[in-house]
Structure 1
């Protein structure tokens, strides 16, 4: 029986001595991983989540002796309550979870159905920070007999603070495994035609629902400190290429589609131009109508729903703007899952 034929059958099990549970094998896993989410909006849940996030050396590269007194002395005593209130404004109350968790689960469930022709492939999902954890879901895939696992960090543009830290956590898990599965990781897909077409299509579809036309459309990407870029992080270049390809696909120029960076944190200079400063400057210059897309985010989350659709909309109107629209992320829409499926099928070649 060939390997491909073997993959169409249920997981096999190894016969072991009495008293040992059977070990499944012969399957392939796909693990979708997004940034993370707190388990609740209460202070304790927020502190636990922020502590895991802000102690990651990929996220904060400041020396520990300098960073920890600030983190544990100030930030984790003040920020959890404040961010909990922000999360509360976007919380999915029906499921009692953040939208990021809702969308990521849905993406995984839809992908599992779409890969039905690849029998023997198991799809799961995890969060880099918070639950479900990467280790928990890697354990679950191994228990189902997945000897090969494709890890998919849900970030189109590569950054050490996002893609790399997901991979780090997976490799950390493997360090503790006696029987390691074979591993592949999804590369950045910031210029993938399927991704560009889907984002451009979502922008066109959203603008068609408005009874007004924006004078300017911003593509707002999550920022990183300038120092990270200076050290060799390719993120800025990936974002610029995505924006350029979107302009070409939409037939717009740089005055119509601008690139900005959001969510800066702390006193250090981050990638510029800043989204909030640009939104304010546009309004003060007389621009009355703008829309903002966030193509670096696979799913809507706090940074898109609260920071862009809420905070930046207020900044724009307060500075004299009149019409502001946030263009939703691809989320678990059919075009959004189309992109994930296209990337997964490509990266599974040779395994299935």
Structure 2
């Protein structure tokens, strides 16, 4: 077995006491809204054994021979529908940067705290984020996976990459990771405020609200992933806060991929069913996403809206994610300050 040589850290820029780094991490995005950019992103994403657990020969043949030849073209079209043309980047990147900037401002009275941001897949990478924090004199780092509900394909793979980066360092910073916050009071309250604020702007009153979470193969949950249970807990807490029952706030799962059975009920099938059953006005919230992205802005706000209306629905509204809103930033700031206790 060959052991990679340890890296020598770059000289840190220090002024006084050591600094504490905070690294916000979201899932990722292509660098460009074209087939080559999407291909690079999908290859990194789908080559992660946390995302696709069976990385055997058959999968590699399917990935490289079929998926990476066909899917980048179609997904690039979807990305172009939501692309931030002003900054030439995806909304996920724009929002995550803003979250880091606003957190920096919120912690401005603590001059030894440094905030940066990264993507698990794509750029800026986790490695570049950690390198930047170390270069600024941080000897302690708090990693903040921006996923309210824990799952191996999201939260765990962030930790995997952070640990992988640290494993190359001779002089490692001390590390902490924020836990999932799926039923944290500040998170549920922020969701409720966001929903109520958005509904007040609508010209119609939704007959019900659908809470759509990102899907996952059922087999992952059967093997012990706690994700489904945490999605249920979030939905139940939100129902209590809003005074709704399961007929007024529904739980569904979106974004399934491949032929395996995924967590149900499926969001798209639910949209079709509700419209055919006579529901005419609906709103959708996506509590599993800390920032709007392809899955919320295109899949929900466009694709699922079309499914609903095609089958008889009339009015559809996608409720924005918490993003960098005041309630959303309250959640991030609360989580960070809680986990930094004893460091600051």
Q: Same fold (TM over 0.5)?
A: yes
Alignment of 1:334 with 2:333, yes or no, is: no
| Runs of 4+ off more than 2 Å | 20-25
Q: Who is 2:171 aligned against?
A: 179
Q: Who is 1:277 aligned against?
A: 269
Alignment of 1:81 with 2:83, yes or no, is: no
Q: Who is 2:242 aligned against?
A: 250
Note the residue ranges of structure 2 that are not aligned, 5 or more in a row: 1-9
Distance 1:114 1:63 in 2: 42
TM-score of the superposed pair, with normalisation by structure 1: 0.93
Q: Who is 1:32 aligned against?
A: 24
Structure 1 residue 104 displacement after superposition? 0.1
- The C-alpha deviation readout for 1:294-352, integer Å capped at 9, x for no partner, is 01000000000000000000000000011110000011111111100000000000111
Match of 2:278 among 265, 274, 286: 286
Distance 1:104 1:44 in 2: 23
Note the residue ranges of structure 1 that are not aligned, 5 or more in a row: 1-19
Distance 1:169 1:244 in 2: 32
Q: Who is 1:16 aligned against?
A: none
- The C-alpha deviation readout for 1:102-161, integer Å capped at 9, x for no partner, is 000000000001011222000000000000000011000000010000000000000000
Q: Who is 2:150 aligned against?
A: 158
> Matched residue of 1:259: which SS?
strand
Q: 1:226 to 1:22 in 2, by over 3 A?
A: closer
1:1-352, aligned counterparts within 5 Å?
24=14, 26-352=18-344
> Matched residue of 1:84: which SS?
helix
Distance 1:259 1:196 in 2: 15
Structure 1 residue 22 displacement after superposition? 6.2
> Matched residue of 2:306: which SS?
helix
> Matched residue of 2:66: which SS?
helix
Distance 2:111 2:85 in 1: 35
C-alpha RMSD over aligned residues: 1.0
Q: 1:212 to 1:72 in 2, by over 3 A?
A: same
Q: 1:145 to 1:243 in 2, by over 3 A?
A: same
Distance 1:42 1:256 in 2: 39
Structure 1 residue 221 displacement after superposition? 0.1
Q: 1:139 to 1:253 in 2, by over 3 A?
A: same
Distance 2:215 2:13 in 1: 44
Q: Comparing 327-336 with 149-158, which one deviates more in the overlay? A: 327-336
Structure 1 residue 21 displacement after superposition? 5.1
- The C-alpha deviation readout for 1:221-268, integer Å capped at 9, x for no partner, is 001100000000000000000000000000011100000000000000
